[in-house]
Amino acid sequence: MHTDDRRAADLEELGLTNYEARVYLALIRRDVFTAAEVAREAQVPRQRVYDVLEGLTRRQLALLRPGKVAGYSAVAPETAVHRLMEQQRRSLGRLERLSDELAQELLPTWASGRTHTDPLDYVEVLRDAADISERFARIQSEAERELLSFSRPPWFNPPAENVAGIEASARLHAAGRTVRSLYSSDVLDDAVVLDVVRQFVEVGEEIRIAENLPLKLVIADGSTVLCDMPDPVARAGATTSLVIRHPSLAEALRLAFHAVWDESPTLEEVLKQREQQEALRRVAEEDSLRRLAEQEQEREEQSEPAEDPDRAPSGPADSA
């Protein structure tokens, strides 16, 4: 940077305008300047230089030399800088007093504003699938005491990709906390999903199977709820998810969760029941096949021609 430009910038830091700084730097180069001369020296528009010189004179940084043609001189730099610093100190003192007074005046308004809350501040609406997946993972990771969920397709995350859920289940189980999931019976028809469900069981999650679940739901620590709200109007599959931080709502949904939980069988019970049903189905199928075979045999026997009991058997005499 050019020396005069740097000095002008320093003077501006002390409170001068750019034109004032340039005019002062021009004035210190000679004992006296006329207005026209200093305008040329400082490269300031002539129509502006009179206002600039008046301002410097008023701030006691320049002196007016009366005469046939008025002249102007700069006060010594040491004096000028000292006066600028004093002006800054006085200005800072005024700002400090003003800031204290302003803070006191604004405080009551600010305090009263703290008592007002938007009734929906605790509700967050999510529509993007990536945002829903990210928030689902975060809620699971941040759970400290309890994690309850309704799980049914379509999933927030494919179960096989729910690493945060596996980690949260293992962590909460190890700490003696509660982690429970109610799955819709659909999971029993998907071998891949059923394998993932068994992985959750292995790390400590308690699993039960409900015949039907109204929606997907996660309740964390009795205070935060994530639920999907399938859109009845938009395209098929469209959904909106809500994150609601409201302990009272979370507690009401916990009661609903446990009401369904208490009436639902465990995964082992459902699988055993299905095995029994499958065994009964196979027995019934085998019995049905056996009966069909017997009926077919009877029909075949009935279709064979019957012998005439009055007819004598043929022999040599009959043929003579």
Q: What tokens does 89 get?
A: 């100190």
**Helices 18-27, 3-13: crossing angle, 10 deg rounding:** 120
Q: Give DSSP secondary structure letters for 115-181.
A: T---TTTTEEEE-SHHHHHHHHHHHHHH-SSEEEEEE-SSPSS-GGG-HHHHHHHHHHHHTT-EEEE
pLDDT the model gives residue 187: 85
3-class state of residue 20 by DSSP: helix
pLDDT the model gives residue 320: 39
Alpha carbon distance 84, 11 (integer Å) = 9
pLDDT the model gives residue 236: 56
CB 75 within 8 A of CB 54: no
CB 25 within 8 A of CB 9: no
pLDDT the model gives residue 167: 94
Q: What tokens does 251 get?
A: 């507690």
Q: What is the pTM of this model?
A: 0.54
pLDDT the model gives residue 53: 92
H/E segment holding residue 247: helix 247-263
- Listed as ranges, residues in the chain with pLDDT below 50 are 1, 317-320
pLDDT the model gives residue 295: 83
Q: What tokens does 106 get?
A: 């604004």
Cβ neighbours, 10 Å, residue 190: 13
pLDDT the model gives residue 306: 56
Burial class of residue 38, CB neighbours in 10 A (0-12, 13-18, 19+)? buried
pLDDT the model gives residue 319: 44
